Amino acid sequence: MTDVTVVVVAKECLPGKVKTRLTPALTPEGAARVAAASLADTIATVRALPASRRVLLYDGVVLPDGTDDFEVLPQIGGGLDERLGAMFDAMSGPTLLVGMDTPQASAADLSPVFDDPGRDAWFGPAEDGGFWSLYLREPDGALLRGVPMSQDDTGAVQRSRLADAGLDVGLLETLLDVDTVPDADRVAALVPDSRFAAALRDETLTELAECGGTR
């Protein structure tokens, strides 16, 4: 076990509130079930890590399965940069942030952090230009506040922030965030035995049966 806190940032998987870009190919209810499966896979991965503490940075009321022993930190209001900044400010030691939109992320993908937790930072880039994971040995929310989120240059701006602060930054694998149906299909093909892939198959089959055609 290492002295690293792992934080999963997530929102309650309610229809119309999560994975809205998977509709209308999926119903809002179906998209929410796929999002819940993505979160479940992420939680399982985090539980497999040799972390000293696990935290759920949560926007919601009903907690997801598998988080009974997680500490829960409610998300504050404001933009994502402010919410993540507040989380890092609330941490007192080495902290690894993981998002819920990369169900293919494995313990092996995150192992560099635990192999070298003394490094200033680890950064996990996303294919869409964002990031799926961020580790700070000395948490500082100021490193995130003001970074424009959900843009194709989010990751570049965040990495510049870290470099400008003089941090030694290691790179994790580049992963694909699940935002659209093509994204979901690609990720499911990477991890066909995952909860995410099973949920996507179930919802796709349901839609095909109801529509009597192809997606």
pLDDT along the chain (215 residues), means of 10: 93 96 96 98 97 97 95 96 98 97 98 98 97 98 97 97 98 97 97 98 75 52
Asked whether the beta carbons of 104 and 187 are under 8 A apart, the reply is yes
Q: Which amino acid is at 88?
A: F
pLDDT computed for residue 215 by the predictor: 47
pLDDT computed for residue 131 by the predictor: 98
Distance, in Å, from the CA atom of 177 to the CA atom of 99, rounded to the nearest integer, reads 9
In this structure, are strands 95-98 and 121-125 parallel, antiparallel, or unpaired? unpaired
Burial 103-115 (b: 16+ CB within 10 A, else e): bbbbeebbebbbe
Q: Which amino acid is at 75?
A: Q
pLDDT computed for residue 193 by the predictor: 97
| Other C-beta atoms lying within 10 Å of the C-beta of residue 210 | 9
pLDDT computed for residue 2 by the predictor: 81
Asked whether the beta carbons of 128 and 178 are under 8 A apart, the reply is no
Q: Cα–Cα distances in Å, from 18 out to 55, 83, 87, 192?
A: 20, 17, 21, 22
